[in-house]
């Protein structure tokens, strides 16, 4: 399936196991070398499509790759400038409200991102329902998009998702020369799977089986790594 593919890779939960906190993830040199070799084999048709900001993806080591960050709101060519909307004042207001809710509750964490903000409750799942209610209220009040994730509620500007990112990248070189294959684990990856299918490609869901628009599955991050390694050596 990798032959002739334009490969779209999610990051958290796909290329690296889920960690207790956003800062707890690590990107090893073996992974970066593997992705570089794969990109070479695919004539450049490899992109990382993540909920992380482009700035964070670059801090993690992905500067030399084609990137779509913040769930399709930001784009950057390898080592090139970042195309992104400005951070709206509404996101700052939501961030302040998240802090007012979270700062006196052990285990909750507010993640400030370039043009969005996340409220993580992995360290305090008992607050998940209330955190979701707050995030929904703030989304409605400030005209923001509510993006649920894994033990996480994010608020961001609307108008894009991982599906629109796939469509945008597939309209340009180098990705447009291949058939899209989207690999991801999260609900936010479903739009990516759907877009890949609309364009004649497919998706691979990583992790616990669920209703999905992906046609294939891999059970865990280690299996993704193995699959990509096979793609390089085939
Ligand atoms: O689209 P992705 O690359 O999968 O990014 C989605 C979000 O991932 C991060 O949060 C998730 O991973 C954390 C580290 O493993 C984990 O602690 C958290 O519970 C998960 O929700 C990241 O922090 C977010 O900014 C991304 O949007």
Task: Find the residues whose C-beta lies inside 6 A of ligand 1.
Answer: 10-13, 18-22, 24-25, 50-52, 111, 113, 118, 120, 122, 149-152, 154, 186, 188
% of the chain residues with pLDDT over 90: 97
Task: Tell me the chain's radius of gyration from C-alpha atoms.
Answer: 17
pLDDT digits (tens, 9 = 90+) for 207-220: 999 999 999 999 99
Please check whether residues 57 and 95 belong to one and the same domain.
no
> What mean pLDDT do residues 125-149 have?
98
pLDDT digits (tens, 9 = 90+) for 31-67: 999 999 999 999 999 999 999 999 999 999 999 999 9
- Could you confirm whether 10 is annotated as catalytic? yes
234 CA to centre of ligand 1 in angstroms: 31
> What mean pLDDT do residues 6-16 have?
98
Q: What is the pLDDT of residue 234?
A: 77
39 CA to centre of ligand 1 in angstroms: 24
The whole model's pTM is what? 0.97
81 within a domain of the structure (yes/no): no
CA distances from 57 to 5, 49, 95 (A): 22, 10, 21
SS percent in the chain: helix, strand, coil, step 5: 40, 20, 35
Q: What is the pLDDT of residue 13?
A: 98
Please check whether residues 32 and 132 belong to one and the same domain.
no
* Between 152 and 233, the higher pLDDT residue: 152
12 CA to centre of ligand 1 in angstroms: 5
Q: What is the pLDDT of residue 1?
A: 79
Please check whether residues 151 and 193 belong to one and the same domain.
no
% of the chain residues with pLDDT over 70: 100
Identify the band that residue 127 occupies on the pLDDT scale cut at 50, 70 and 90: very high
Please check whether residues 60 and 8 belong to one and the same domain.
yes
Q: What is the pLDDT of residue 109?
A: 98
Please check whether residues 165 and 223 belong to one and the same domain.
yes
79 within a domain of the structure (yes/no): no
Q: Which residues pair with 217 in a beta bridge?
A: 205
In the predicted model, is pLDDT for residue 200 greater than 80? yes
Please check whether residues 208 and 179 belong to one and the same domain.
yes
CATH number, domain with residue 222? 3.40.50.1000
Please name which of 202, 192, 175 lies closest in space to residue 10, comparing C-alpha atoms: 192
Please check whether residues 186 and 211 belong to one and the same domain.
yes
Q: Which run of H or of E encompasses 202? A: strand 202-206
22 within a domain of the structure (yes/no): no
In the predicted model, is pLDDT for residue 8 greater than 80? yes
CA distances from 93 to 63, 69, 90 (A): 30, 22, 5
Q: How far is it, in rounded angstroms, from Cα 145 to Cα 188?
A: 12
In the predicted model, is pLDDT for residue 124 greater than 90? yes
Q: Which residues pair with 12 in a beta bridge?
A: 16
The ipTM value here is: 0.99
Domain of residue 40, residue span: 3-16+28-72+159-228
173 within a domain of the structure (yes/no): yes
Atom nearest to 14 CA in ligand 1: 4
SS3 8: strand
119 within a domain of the structure (yes/no): yes
Residue of 31, 148, 150, 190 to mutate, ligand 1, most atoms within 8 A of C-beta: 150
Atom nearest to 186 CA in ligand 1: 4
Q: How many domains are contained in the chain?
A: 2
């Amino acid at each position: 399936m990798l032959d002739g593919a334009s490969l779209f890779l999610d990051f958290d939960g796909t290329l690296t196991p889920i960690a207790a906190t956003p800062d707890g993830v690590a990107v090893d040199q073996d992974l970066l070398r593997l992705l570089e070799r794969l990109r070479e084999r695919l004539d450049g048709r490899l992109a990382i499509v993540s909920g992380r900001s482009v700035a964070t993806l670059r801090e993690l080591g992905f500067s030399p790759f084609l990137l779509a960050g913040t769930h399709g709101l930001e784009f950057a060519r390898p080592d090139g400038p970042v195309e992104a909307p400005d951070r709206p004042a509404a996101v700052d207001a939501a961030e302040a409200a998240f802090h007012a809710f979270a700062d006196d509750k052990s285990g909750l964490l507010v993640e400030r991102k370039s043009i969005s903000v996340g409220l993580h409750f992995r360290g305090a799942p008992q607050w998940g329902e209330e955190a979701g209610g707050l995030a929904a209220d703030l989304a409605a009040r400030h005209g923001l998009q509510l993006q649920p994730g894994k033990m996480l509620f994010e608020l961001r500007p609307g108008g894009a998702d991982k599906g629109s990112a796939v469509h945008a990248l597939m309209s340009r070189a180098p990705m447009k020369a291949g058939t899209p294959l989207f690999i991801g684990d999260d609900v936010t990856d479903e739009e990516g799977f759907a877009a890949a299918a609309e364009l004649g490609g497919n998706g691979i869901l990583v992790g616990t089986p669920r209703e999905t628009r992906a046609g294939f599955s891999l059970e865990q991050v280690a299996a993704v790594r193995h699959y990509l390694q096979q793609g390089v050596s085939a």
